[in-house]
A and B are shown apart, each in its own frame.
Chain A
């Protein structure tokens, strides 16, 4: 049985842990709100981009010489996996869920005899991939999202991917990130970004409008597709940031609750032992007095 002093020390330490986790929960909650707002604000651009792309792709569809970013290279040999995680931990299963999905995908592809290249965005994912597939990592970004997710950062990733694709270094690119559903639920998502699945232009409304293109439609499409890639990456990074804070908030909430439970249990045992000590001392005094 530990002594009373030991109990007091344990209780004090659990109490300070609880203070830390509950502070982290508050911080995560406010950052979650901010990143949700950012994700919301980025939506109009993505929506309009999608509409424009649907229009253009509809016009370009079926023509010979369709752009490889839409049509693919016609091969399926080299895969690029863009793995997006956070730079920091303490967010429950957030990073490990994404990493597990990434690892499964890479294994599957390797088993099917494909060549795999990994682009790691976020330190946690890079570290995990380094352990298993060190020689497959071709690039990493670990300085992103210090404060908020910047479009310039997404653009950097996207231009790297675009340049690699232009140089014929891969055929298919897949992005893995956690889609934000709610503060308690994030869904690990695999999204194919190259070749890009064309959004279907809505059959109703102004889909039939014939546009003038300046310069040519192919040139616009050529400029629009890399931009669209950057937007997709940006959106994924925003969703990932929101998911991270959601997951961290949930993890810290349950840690705070566990710490509270532990304090209650320890306090109960502490009081019991104190009672036992008092009783024992009383018995000693009484039996001493009787002996006289």
Chain B
């Protein structure tokens, strides 16, 4: 048991991943950190970046996340994300499309609330474009 930890990757819509893994790389707000078994209990917010799942000494799966929270204990790592896109689905075209959609949303924003939401969408999309490049 000591050489794996349980990773749960959850988005608001559903449980994306729940399995035993060797290591997880999480994009924490104060820097990317790796989680191995027996990690000190931590709660951290996330910034846009990749959650990478290591199995058998190599990256088995990788998701781009726009933000969220991670809760780490000695035996588990729970990642609550706002949105997760498998790395394979994150193409430059897709990211550019998202950015364009977010920008047109800002143009159409009727009030401050809309503008603020659109700005968040743009920031996320820009991070996505960078990650896809």
CA distance A234 to B11 in the complex (A): 12
Q: Which of B10, B14, B42 contacts A211 (CB 8 A)?
A: B42
Q: Write out, one digit per residue, whether chain B residues 46-77 have a CB within 8 A of any chain A CB (1) or not (0).
A: 00000000000000000000000101010000
Indicate whether A206 reaches chain B with its CB closer than 8 angstroms: yes
Decide: B116 and A211 in contact? CB cutoff 8 A. no
Decide: A41 and B44 in contact? CB cutoff 8 A. no
Selected interface stretch from A19-27, A44-52, A169-177, A250-258 = A44-52
| Band of interface residues on B | 20 to 34
Known: A212-B42, A215-B30. Is A48-B113 also a contact (CB below 8 A)?
A: no
Instruction: Please name the residue on chain A nearest to B70 by beta carbon.
Output: A214
| Band of interface residues on A | 20 to 34
Of the candidates A38, A48, A156, A234, the one having the most CB atoms from chain B within 10 angstroms of its own CB is: A48
CA distance A227 to B112 in the complex (A): 19
CA distance A220 to B47 in the complex (A): 12
Q: List 22 A-B contacts (CB under 8 A).
A: A44-B10, A45-B11, A45-B12, A49-B69, A52-B43, A52-B78, A163-B116, A206-B73, A211-B41, A211-B43, A212-B40, A212-B41, A212-B42, A212-B43, A213-B42, A214-B29, A215-B29, A215-B30, A217-B43, A220-B43, A220-B45, A227-B82
**Contact surface of A with B, Cβ cutoff 8 Å:** 38, 41-42, 44-45, 48-49, 51-52, 55-56, 151, 154, 156, 159-160, 163, 206, 209-215, 217, 219-220, 223-224, 227, 230-231, 234
